[in-house]
Every structure is written in structure tokens, then in C-alpha cells.
Amino acid sequence: MNQKTILIAVVTFAVGLLTGVLVFPDLAPSAIGDAAGPGLSAPASAPELPSEPSPPSPAPMISQVVTEDDDDDNAVDSAASNSGTEPSIDLLSSRVDDISAGWGRMQADLADLRQRIAQLEQRTSNADRTSNVNQNEAVRRAQRPRTQQEQREALLRAGVTKQIADDIVWRRAEVSLERLELRDQATREGWFNTQRYREELRKVNEQRVSIRDEIGVDAYDRYLFETGQNNRVLVESVIPGSAGEISGLLPGDVIETYDALPMFDFRDLRSATSDGERGELVPVTVRRGDQQVELWLQRGPIGIGLDAMSADPSS
């Protein structure tokens, strides 16, 4: 903001200087001469000694007075006719043209200055936004549980009882150990990355504990938030003419439910739009600022750009 103020001050000073040069170039010498008085234009003469008074001149005749007055009027008319008004009008017109040209250049400079300031502010805003996104992502990654104890504590913060939290952590640890044992056995016996290995791995993964199914939707929503994971689907853009635009979706809307099912990530929304009969109207709940809005969408492709975000379920 200091750069913007300095640049505007410099341009304003340059415009004032240009206007003074164009309007007052010939006034300064004459003004100085008039202020100094005739005594500065020539050296003062020495005082003269008093002389004898001269005899009074005879009074002029009336005819002579009239003649002299006429001569003065003729002289004034002659001076006016000799000076004329056209040169003054031409000079003023030239000055006006110069001032107009200077004003146009000033406007162009100001427009260029505004554009540069806007570009600078946009780059600063983008840099700040990128920095905030990186900081938020770093915070979320730092919050994600890396050990069984951290996962247990996150479950407790999500509202899960101690007994259920301990059971989930224990069973997930057992599945992880089975995968490690399977990999070691397949590597030693030479059938790693074969069809047999993939089938055995699929059987082990079927025993994997789904935290969402174990603790319920509400607690799972809180668990995702407590562990710094994304739990909301954000509308980043809307394609013109798409079902999303027709239904009234706007960039910035947060999709909370689709056909009464909570939406925690892209996979949830993709699966929901592909289920059921295409074209049927389904209710969609979105968070728009501080308000909750219900829209109706035709099941199928929505035509929106998506992003993920983390939101406090209690807000």
C-alpha cells in the first residue's frame, strides 16, 4: 500500500509541474519587471538643480483641444487595430491544446499505474492464499494419527467410548500385521505380485475395520475433522448449462448431503450420482455461507468442479 501512495504522489507532482510550465512560461519575466518598477530598468539620473521658472504657455484654443483629443482617440484606435485579437486567441488555443495533450498523457499514466498496482495486489493476494493453503495442509498432516495411541486419542475426541476405541485400534493393528506376514511369505516363496498374492491380499483386506461403519456417520465426521482430514466437498466451479447450474449450485457451495446421504469426499459424491435411476430428482443440501440451502438435482453428472476441505461439524 506504501508503494501505491508514493507512485500517486509522484504522478500528481509531475502533472502540476507540467501545467505550470504550459500556462505560466511568459508571465514570470513581466511580473518581475512590473514588481521591480521602472527604476530598475535604467540607472537613476542625478537630481537637477532648480532653474528659473519658464514663462507660462498660452492656453490652447478650443479647436486645438478638440484636435488633440481626436488625435488621442485615433492613436488608441490605431494601437488597438495594430495589436489585434487574433494572435491572443491563437496563443490561448495553442496553450489549451498543450494542456489537453498533457492531461491525456497524465490519464494514460494513471491508468497504467492503476493496472500495475492491481497486478501487484493480485500477486500478493495469490501468494498469501497459497501460503495459507500450504500452512493449513501442513497442519492437517501434522494432526493425522501416525501411531495407534494417536488414533485412539482421536477416536476419543470424536465421541467414541474408550472400549470401542481400543477394539478398533486393536483389530486394525491385526490386519496390518497380516498384510506384512503375507508379503514376507510371498517374497520368500517367490509368488509376490502374482495372481495368488493378489487373491490372498484381497481376503486380508476384507477383514479391514471400517471406522465409518464401526462408529457411525456423525462420529466419523468428527473423527475426520479431529485428525485433520477433509470431510466436505466444495463446489469450485459450475459449467454453464449443466445440471448443477440449472439447479442453482454456485461456486463456494459446500455439498453436505446428496439424496440424504452425507458427502465426505469425491468418492461419496461420484458413487451417489451413479446410483439409482438417471434423471430422477434428488434433494441436495448445501452450505452457502451461514445458511443451509436445499436444492433439487437430476441424478447423473452434475457438471461442477470439485475441491475438498475440512470443516468443523459442530459449526
CA 123 to chain centre: 8
Query: Inter-axis angle of helices 2-23 and 86-143, to 10 degrees?
Result: 180
Whole-number Å distance between alpha carbons of 263 and 282: 14
Q: Give residues with Cβ within 8 angstroms of 215, minimum separation 6.
A: 155, 158, 160, 164, 168, 223
Sorted by where each begins, the domain ranges of the chain are 1-20+105-125, 148-224, 230-309
Residues 6+ apart with CB under 8 A from 211: 155, 168, 220, 223
pTM over 0.75: no
Give the three cell numbers for residue 139: 497442519
Enter the C-alpha cell of residue 99: 494542456
Per-residue pLDDT of the chain (315 residues; tens, 9 = 90+): 556 666 676 667 766 666 665 555 554 444 444 444 444 444 444 444 444 445 445 544 434 444 444 444 444 444 444 444 555 777 777 777 778 777 778 878 887 788 778 777 766 655 565 555 555 555 555 567 788 899 899 999 999 999 999 999 999 999 999 999 999 999 999 999 999 999 999 999 998 888 999 999 999 999 999 888 999 999 999 999 999 999 999 999 999 999 999 999 999 999 999 998 999 999 999 999 989 999 999 999 999 999 999 999 887
Tell me how many helices (H) and strands (E) the chain has. Answer: 11, 6
Question: Residue 170: its pLDDT value, please?
Answer: 93
Q: Where in the chain does DSSP place strands (E)?
A: 232-238, 254-258, 261-262, 281-288, 291-298, 304-309
CA dihedral angle for residue 303, residue 306, residue 311, residue 314, rounded to 10 degrees: 10
* CA 229/CA 239 separation, integer angstroms: 28
CATH superfamily of 230-309: PDZ domain (2.30.42.10)
Q: Which residues of 154-175 are buried (b: 16+ CB within 10 A; e: fewer)?
A: bbbebebeeeebeebbeebeee
Residues 11 and 113: beta-carbon distance below 8 Å: yes
